């Protein structure tokens, strides 16, 4: 086994330095997440729902959302990829991490960070439907209606946004910017 050298002369990769413009501020996010939690709580009060977090992008959103829900829930995680390090989808969805437990007979709330073309959502719905849940509802923090070529239905939408590449609040560009407490548009991406 080769251990990587910690040669101090090897330069670290450059950190990104993009111009960001805030699209949705921190307080606006908090208000809307509270409203979404109230809607979900009212709709699923007697249903014992499973919140299915789509990793990695939705983890910040799910953490805040479930703390605002006024009902008992369990949480599962699934990870798919269709972007890689690109700013546009590859058109192919790959399952990278599956649910840990059965969801048969359960009411699911699939929580996405963003619905863009609808391709990932279409894949996830079909994948989860094959497992025999009682129902599947979708909650997306962000939706780009102009790009939703699959015409995917979303039950709970945080914000409709323009067809721009956004980061922050869990969404990233090449792994960076997930920690921003707001949603921002990167100005200088091609």
Q: Which two tokens stand for residue 49?
A: 């729902």
Active-site pick, 70, 116, 146, 172: 116
Active site residue 188: no
Sheet of 74-81: strands edge to edge?
A: 94-97, 74-81, 50-55, 107-115, 135-143, 156-160
Q: Dihedrals φ, ψ of 182, to 5°?
A: -140, 170
- Cα–Cα distances in angstroms (integers) from residue 96 to residues 55, 84, 112, in the given order: 10, 12, 15
Three-state DSSP state, 184: strand
Active site residues: 116
């Amino acid at each position: 086994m080769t251990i990587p050298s910690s040669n101090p002369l090897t330069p670290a990769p450059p950190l990104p330095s993009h111009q960001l413009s805030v699209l949705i501020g921190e307080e606006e996010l908090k208000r809307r997440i509270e409203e979404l939690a109230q809607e979900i709580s009212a709709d699923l009060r007697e249903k014992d729902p499973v919140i299915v977090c789509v990793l990695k992008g939705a983890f910040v959103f799910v953490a805040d959302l479930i703390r605002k829900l006024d009902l008992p829930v369990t949480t599962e995680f699934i990870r798919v990829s269709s972007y890689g390090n690109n700013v546009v989808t590859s058109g192919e969805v790959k399952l990278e991490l599956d649910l840990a437990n059965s969801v048969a007979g359960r009411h699911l709330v699939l929580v996405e960070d963003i619905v863009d073309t609808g391709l990932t959502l279409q894949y996830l719905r079909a994948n989860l439907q094959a497992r025999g849940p009682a129902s599947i509802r979708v909650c997306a923090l962000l939706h780009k209606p102009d790009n939703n070529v699959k015409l995917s239905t979303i039950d709970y939408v945080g914000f409709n946004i323009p067809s721009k590449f956004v980061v922050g609040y869990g969404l990233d560009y090449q792994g960076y910017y997930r920690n921003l407490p707001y949603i921002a548009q990167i100005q200088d991406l091609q």
